[in-house]
Amino acid sequence: MTGPRGMAGAESAIRVEDLTVAYGEKPVLWDVDMAVPPGVLMAVIGPNGAGKTTLIKAIMGLVRPVAGYVSIFGKPYLSQRRLVGYVPQRNSVDWDFPTSVLDVVMMGRYGVLGWFGRPGRAERKAAMEALTKVGMADLAGRQISQLSGGQQQRVFLARALVQDARVYLMDEPFQGVDATTERAIVTLLKEMRSEGKTVLVVHHDLQTVPEYFDWVTLLNVRCVASGPVEKAFIDRNLRLTYGGRVSYLTHHAAEETFGHPEE
Amino acid sequence: MGIPGFVQTLFADYTLRQVALGAAMLGIVNGVLGSFAVLRKQSLLGDGISHAALPGIALAFLLTGSKSSLTLLLGAAAAGWVGTLLIMSIVNHTRVKYDSALGLVLSVFFGFGLVLLTYIQKLPVATQAGLDKFLFGQAATLLRKDVATIAVLGGIVVAFLLVFWKEFKLVSFDPDFAFSLGYPVRALDVLLTTLLVIAIVIGLQTVGVVLMSAMVVAPAAAARQWTDRLGVMVAVSGIFGALAGVGGALVSSSASRIPTGPTIVLCASAVVLFSLLLAPNRGLAWGYFREQINRRQLQTEAVLGDLYILARQHREAGHGHPVEVLRTMAHGHGGVDRSLKVLQERGLVEETGPGEWALTPPGMEEAGRLSRQWRETP
């Protein structure tokens, strides 16, 4: 793997070393090394069951690794938690929960508020600004069960925006959203990058990787490759990741859909 | 005894007042905590906790020989808590799923409790009588100090809930995100479950272990029907809990020998039924009427559309078409006559002869607009 080595590693926004996660006896992630420089938009791609979601969860300590070490800007994750924003998969929560859009977005400030702080005017203002950024300001008062899939995703993104983090971990933000929302999200991601944020995105659509991202990690239990898109996103690596069933570069326009290896 | 007489008795009768007060408080506490249990999809956990508490009550009596409510409640809470931990560890360490683990612990603890209870009743001790009230509840046995116990413990539970409101809301909605913000999700989970255990335990003497879970689930499920805001839901659930508690306790106390649990459950069910049927937006009746209104509007638009098609085929404005033709075009879906009447009132159609109808010029315009709209929306 190319990337910063030794002391230079302190400059990585996210640095993962020897990360191994197992559910029971089966390894889900095996000896993953990865260094993400600050200010890049990175896609994490790989077939179903490759451990993409687990990678995000292991970085945050939500899943306990068997071995390995994660640092954010050179320091252990736990001491840098405030710098990391998280966008979970949309379907990981019950959208029939009795709460409003604005309320969910304000949850992004709870970490800063601490135990006994209550959300007030400042939090409301930050939440409204984030909602405006994702084009949802007029739906702030809406009950969350009345949102479409794309709107739910935008709410989660707004919640992450008010965290005002430097590193973002996003689990499939493009899943099940329409073309308009996808474009809006991409615009937002690029805006975040231009503000110097580092964004890691679990992604499924190989076609759009070169267009949306400048950095990529190919994952299939092991880390096959990680680096700038033009270097890492090559036919050989894709074959290694997807088990030879991908012909992205040979059919560049790639009309065909990709078959993921069965689990 | 009429209602004014009843209310008068309520305020005059010391015992009845105690009973009503105790039932109201435990109703509020369980309604409030139950909201979180329901939202966290742990409705059945309440059933597990209350059944698991029975052997705790019996053991507390056997060990101390005391029937003071605090001693028995401590035993109940300890057993309920152990039962809950057992359920969690079975789920975490074996392949047994949550529902099976819950059923297992519930029945084993409850069975053990019944054995102990039978044993106690055979003891030649004068004080042994009366523990069986914990099975189905007996509100009439609430004494002043029992009510005080309920008030203190219930107050503590609600105070905790208010202090950690923001955190409980967050872990109930999105525990992973809460974890990513640095909140100790596991500890908050244990705290919330412990509060639920306390809420349930203070209701056992009044409602009984068998039906206690109704006090946890029913008010919350009913309250969810009326609002889309957590704060309002919790408050309404508390009020519903109090209503069901007081209603059930008073009915069972005034008619002798009826256990309180069943009467409270009947009151709670009435609240749930009422809410399921009549609540705005989520209620069944609301949904039915909305569907009827939609159906009628679609029928009316369809008749207008059919007349538009006919009019375009004839190229002669004001040419009347027999209502039978319209009925055929509606494929027997009905509502043609009603639709024509509605359209006539809106000035969109006119009756050109007996049973013959045609679009008016504004009707022609409206139908044209609708048909363009239909074409645009796939």
Two tokens, residue A138:
């007029």
Three-state DSSP state, B140: helix
Which whole-number Å values give the CA distances from A241 to A47, A114, A180, in the listed order?
A: 7, 42, 30
Residues of A in contact with B180 (CB under 8 A): 60, 62, 81, 84, 86
Residues of A in contact with B178 (CB under 8 A): 110
Binary contact (A111, B230; C-beta < 8 A)? no
Binary contact (A94, B230; C-beta < 8 A)? no
Q: Chain-centre distance of CA B135, in angstroms?
A: 23
Q: Is the dihedral of CA A10, A14, A20, A24 positive or negative?
A: positive
Cα distance between residue A192 and residue A186, in whole Å:
10
Which residue from B213, B236, B234 is spatially nearest to B157, judged by alpha carbons? Answer: B234
For residue A246, pLDDT over 70 is answered with: no
For residue A114, pLDDT over 90 is answered with: no
Q: Residue B34 has what pLDDT?
A: 95
When pLDDT is averaged across residues A64-92 and rounded to a whole number, the result is 91
Which residue from B371, B364, B328, B322 is spatially nearest to B343, judged by alpha carbons? Answer: B364
A86 touches chain B (CB under 8 A): yes
Cα distance between residue A138 and residue B28, in whole Å:
36
Which whole-number Å values give the CA distances from A97 to A137, B40, B227, B361, in the listed order?
A: 20, 9, 11, 50
Q: Residue B10 has what pLDDT?
A: 62
B146 touches chain A (CB under 8 A): no
Residues of B in contact with A99 (CB under 8 A): 169, 173, 228-230
When pLDDT is averaged across residues A215-226 and rounded to a whole number, the result is 91
A111 touches chain B (CB under 8 A): yes
B187 touches chain A (CB under 8 A): no
Which residue from A111, A20, A24 is spatially nearest to A70, judged by alpha carbons? Answer: A20
B11 touches chain A (CB under 8 A): no
Backbone angles phi, psi at B55, to 5 degrees: -60, -30
| Long-range Cβ pairs for the range A226-229 (8 Å, 24+) | A226/A1, A226/A3, A226/A33, A226/A34, A226/A35, A226/A36, A227/A1, A227/A2, A227/A3
Two tokens, residue B139:
């509100």
Residues of A in contact with B228 (CB under 8 A): 98-100, 143, 145
Two tokens, residue B191:
């705290």
Which whole-number Å values give the CA distances from B172 to B39, B97, B167, B168, in the listed order?
A: 7, 20, 8, 6
> Is the pTM here over 0.90, yes or no?
no
Q: Residue B3 has what pLDDT?
A: 61
State ipTM.
0.87
Two tokens, residue B377:
């929306």
Binary contact (A104, B173; C-beta < 8 A)? yes
Q: According to the 3-state scheme, what is the secondary structure of A142-206?
A: CEHHHCCHHHHHHHHHHHHHHHCCCEEEECCCCCCCCHHHHHHHHHHHHHHHHCCCEEEEECCCH
Cα distance between residue A238 and residue A249, in whole Å:
9
Q: Which of A86, A87, A105, A139 to mutate to test the interface with B (most CBs of B within 10 A)?
A: A86
Q: Residue B304 has what pLDDT?
A: 86
Q: Which residue of B has its CA nearest to A59?
A: B180
Q: Report the amino acid identity of residue A14.
A: I
A116 touches chain B (CB under 8 A): yes
Q: Which of B93, B167, B174, B180 to mutate to test the interface with A (most CBs of A within 10 A)?
A: B180
A20, with CB counted inside 10 A (0-12, 13-18, 19+), is: middle
Question: Could you count the other beta carbons within 10 Å of the beta carbon of residue A251?
Answer: 10
Binary contact (B167, A115; C-beta < 8 A)? yes
Q: Report the amino acid identity of residue B204.
A: L
Binary contact (B181, A159; C-beta < 8 A)? no
The upper half-sphere exposure of residue B325, i.e. CA atoms within 13 Å in the direction of its Cβ, equals: 15
pLDDT along chain B (378 residues), means of 10: 61 79 93 95 91 94 86 93 92 90 94 92 70 84 88 95 95 94 92 94 90 93 93 96 91 78 90 90 85 86 85 75 82 79 86 84 84 70
Residues 6 or more apart whose CB falls under 8 angstroms from that of B101 comprise B86, B87, B90, B91, B94
Q: Higher model confidence: residue A217 or residue B257?
A: A217
A31-68 per-position pLDDT tens digit? 999 999 999 999 999 988 888 999 999 999 999 899 99
Strand partners, A76: A71
For residue A263, pLDDT over 60 is answered with: no
Crossing angle of helices B14-39 and B212-224, in 10° steps, is 60
Q: Residue A78 has what pLDDT?
A: 87
Considering only the beta carbons, identify the residue of B166, B173, B178 that sits closest to A97: B173
Q: Which residue of A has its CA nearest to B226?
A: A98
Backbone angles phi, psi at A221, to 5 degrees: 65, -55
Cα distance between residue A129 and residue B371, in whole Å:
40
Q: Which residue of B has its CA nearest to A91?
A: B174
Q: Are A20 and A68 in contact (CB under 8 A)?
A: yes
Residues of A in contact with B174 (CB under 8 A): 88, 92-93, 107
For B183-248, give the DSSP string. Answer: --HHHHHHHHHHHHHHHHHTTHHHH-TTTHHHHHHHHHHHHHTT-S-HHHHHHHHHHHHHHHHHHH
Q: Which residue of B has its CA nearest to A24?
A: B93
Q: How many CB pairs (< 8 A) connect A and B?
A: 67
A100-113 per-position pLDDT tens digit? 999 999 999 998 88
Considering only the beta carbons, identify the residue of B163, B170, B230 that sits closest to A110: B170
For A35-81, give the DSSP string. Answer: EE-TT-EEEEE--TTSSHHHHHHHHHTSS--SEEEEEETTEEGGGGG
Q: Say which residue the tokens 């053990």 belong to.
A: B112
Domains for chain B: give ranges and CATH numbers.
3-282 (1.10.3470.10), 286-376 (1.10.10.10)
Q: Residue A15 has what pLDDT?
A: 92
